[in-house]
Every structure is written in structure tokens, then in C-alpha cells.
A = this chain, B = another copy of it.
Amino acid sequence: MDFSIGELARRTEVKVPTIRYYEQIGLLPPPPRTEGQQRRYDKNAVARLGFIKHARELGFDIEAIRAILSLQDNPDQSCSVADRIAKARLAEVEERIASLNALRAELQRMVEECASGRVAECRVIETLADSSNGHGRLVET
């Protein structure tokens, strides 16, 4: 029911040194060790690390992930704190979805034009070039 860092790495597809790095910076709690100082993990670690992996792939930085995980780790903390973090992340997530939808539409158009034998004009830049749409980085206030 518990396993090594290598097994955790295989299950999550996160590299072993990255797992140790996450522990070092406090994203993963220090796990129990064997007599010989080797780390032993359980299913909770798989879930937590899987979440971190996903969130990183989605472009959240470590501090944002730390904030989201703190919701999980302190379910009893004041509602207002959790609410503020969740709302800020929610706004960021919604903006990202909107931008990705626009980019998807343009990529789809290009693929379709290709399929119909025409050389695609590429307008990805116009699709995503507007810098005045409030896409700045969100910060907890």
C-alpha cells in the first residue's frame, strides 16, 4: 500500500528529481522514510502530484498552485480567504478558456481549408493579438 519515489514517478509521469524538488519547495509534504532514508508514498501523494502536474501544464505558476492546494489543506480556514483565492483563479481560468477557444477556432479553420485543398491563409496572429483585453496576470490582493 506504499511505494517508492520511482513508482510514484511512473504512476504520475512526473520525473523523480522533480518530485524531490516539489518536496523541497513545500508543494509536497515530506513523506515517511524507510530505515535507510528512502521515501515511501501512498495514494494521496499520487492524487496531489497528479493535480500539480495538470495545473503546471495549464500554465499556473508554483505560487498559484500553492494557493489552490492551501484550500485543500485547510478546509477550515475562513471562507473569505478561500473565496478570494477561488474567485481569482476562476477569473483567470475563464480568460484562458476564452483565449483558447479563439485559437482553436482559427486552427480549425486552417485545418479545414487544408482539407479542401486550398493553401491556408494563416490569421492566428489577428486571432490572438489583441493585448488590450485584460489578459494581465492575476494576483491575490
Contacts and interface: CB of A to CB of B under 8 A. Distances in A.
Contact of A110 (B86, B130, B131): B86
A125 B75 CA distance: 13
Interface in A56-110: 57-59, 68-69, 71-72, 75-76, 79-80, 82-83, 86-87, 89-90, 93-94, 96-97, 99-101, 103-104, 107-108, 110
Interface stretch (A21-29, A34-42, A116-124): A116-124
Nearest to A127: B51
Interface residues of A, number: 62
A69 B122 CA distance: 9
A46 B54 CA distance: 32
6 contacts: A13-B131, A57-B96, A75-B120, A82-B114, A87-B111, A94-B104
A20 interface: no
A16 interface: no
A78 to B, nearest CB: 9
B51 A124 contact: yes
Contact of A93 (B71, B107, B110, B126): B107
Given A129-B50, A130-B50, A114 B68 contact: no
A131 B120 CA distance: 35
Closest 5 CB pairs of A and B: A59-B59, A50-B129, A50-B131, A71-B122, A47-B129
